[in-house]
């Protein structure tokens, strides 16, 4: 029992001596925005699988749009493929007005606007993304995207 108490005391003291990892807000914001830049470039190449690399590859990924909520990376990819079956439908994507708010060192919300340029129309709207920092970096774990009615 004395050894257990001594061990716990030593661990507690050592834990108090370590410095917490420094959170570099600017670097983390840049990393999150890079995920979105990479997604935008993939979309504009017509590479939906590449676009999806910005999302958490999990059955727990949540995607809300058009009054529905769907779960899963593969489900989200298949939804994109159905909604954007060819280059004309994919168009050219632009993200703008991106506002990154950190909730914790490993969690951020990104709010912004999206717009597609296509031959016959120009859909646009808003998004709110929940990013989490995982072992492989930042990724979107929840996406709520809406389209403007005008």
113 pLDDT band (50/70/90 cuts)? Answer: very high
Task: Go through the chain and tell me how many residues it has.
Answer: 150
Cα separation, 32 vs 106, whole angstroms: 11
pLDDT at 80 exceeding the cut of 70: yes
> Which domains occur in the chain, in start order?
24-147 (3.10.450.50)
pLDDT in tens, 24-62: 999 999 999 999 999 999 999 999 999 999 999 999 999
pTM of the full structure: 0.84
What integer pLDDT is reported at residue 144 of this predicted model?
98
Place of tokens 């403007």: 148
pLDDT at 2 exceeding the cut of 50: yes
Q: For the residues 80-90, what does the mean pLDDT come to?
A: 97
């Amino acid at each position: 029992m004395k050894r257990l108490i001594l061990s716990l005391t030593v661990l507690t003291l050592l834990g108090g001596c370590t410095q917490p990892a420094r959170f570099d807000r600017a670097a983390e914001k840049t990393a999150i925005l890079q995920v979105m830049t990479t997604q935008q470039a993939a979309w504009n190449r017509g590479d939906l699988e590449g676009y999806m690399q910005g999302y958490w590859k999990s059955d727990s990924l949540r995607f809300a749009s058009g009054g529905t909520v769907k779960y899963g990376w593969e489900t989200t990819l298949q939804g994109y493929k159905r909604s954007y079956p060819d280059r004309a439908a994919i168009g050219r994507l632009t993200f703008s007005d991106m506002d990154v708010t950190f909730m914790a060192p490993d969690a951020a919300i990104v709010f912004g606007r999206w717009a597609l340029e296509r031959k016959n129309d120009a859909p646009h709207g808003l998004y709110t993304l929940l990013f989490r920092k995982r072992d492989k970096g930042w990724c979107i774990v929840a996406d709520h995207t809406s389209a403007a009615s005008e």
